[in-house]
Structures are given as structure tokens and as C-alpha cells.
Amino acid sequence: MYILGLYYYWVFAVLLMIGFYAVVAKPNLIKKLVGLSLFQAAVFLLYITMGKVSGSTAPIFQEGVSGLVFSNPLPQVLILTAIVVGISTTALGLGIVIRIKEEYGSIEEDEIQEMDKT
């Protein structure tokens, strides 16, 4: 169980950094937004992992059953709303990318910077 816990956290670290790599190293703007989504998903995974209690069940009371151990509901609430906010901000980013494409004719970061210089 200890190793599995560490593995969850390591996967979080690796996913976070894969997303971050796409944001910093890829010149394509849509690829950057994809990377940002991966980064975001990694943070979600960390929160949900921390809320897990071993031997527990989802935090929903059941009629006539007592003595259940529940996982922490608070991280779930935070992440539940963060997912929907995340898609809205991603859509805003995509809207900006589309306008950039219309104005510059390109969605590659280096080409856009080149055009801005001239």
C-alpha cells in the first residue's frame, strides 16, 4: 500500500511535468493548451489522491447502513468545480488561438514573434 501511494504521487509529478514540457517546449499554441490540460489533470489527480482514506467508500450516506468510512468530500468538491472552470478557460484560450490564426495566419509561436518584429 505504501508503494502504491508513492506511485500515485510519482505519476502526479510525471504528468505535471509532461504537461509543463508541452507548454514550454512546443511552439504550437494548440499543443500548449493541450499541455495545460494535462497539467491541470495532474493537479486534479493529486487532490483526489489525498482525499482517499483506505477502506473507505464514496461520501454518500446509505439508508440503514452505519459505520462506513468515507473519503474526504472537500477535495472532491474543489476539483468537481475546477473541472468545469477548466473547460471554460480552455475554451477561452482556444478562442484567442482562433483569433490569432485569423490575424497572423499561423499558430506557431516563433513565426508569430517573427511577424511581430517586422
- Candidates 36, 43, 53, 64; binder of other proteins (CB under 8 A) is 53
Sign of CA dihedral 106, 32, 92, 116: negative
Is residue 70 a contact residue for other proteins (CB under 8 A)? yes
Query: By CB neighbour count within 10 A (0-12 exposed, 13-18 middle, 19+ buried), where does 8 fall?
Result: middle
Is residue 113 a contact residue for other proteins (CB under 8 A)? no
- Candidates 43, 59, 67, 113; binder of other proteins (CB under 8 A) is 59
Is residue 43 a contact residue for other proteins (CB under 8 A)? no
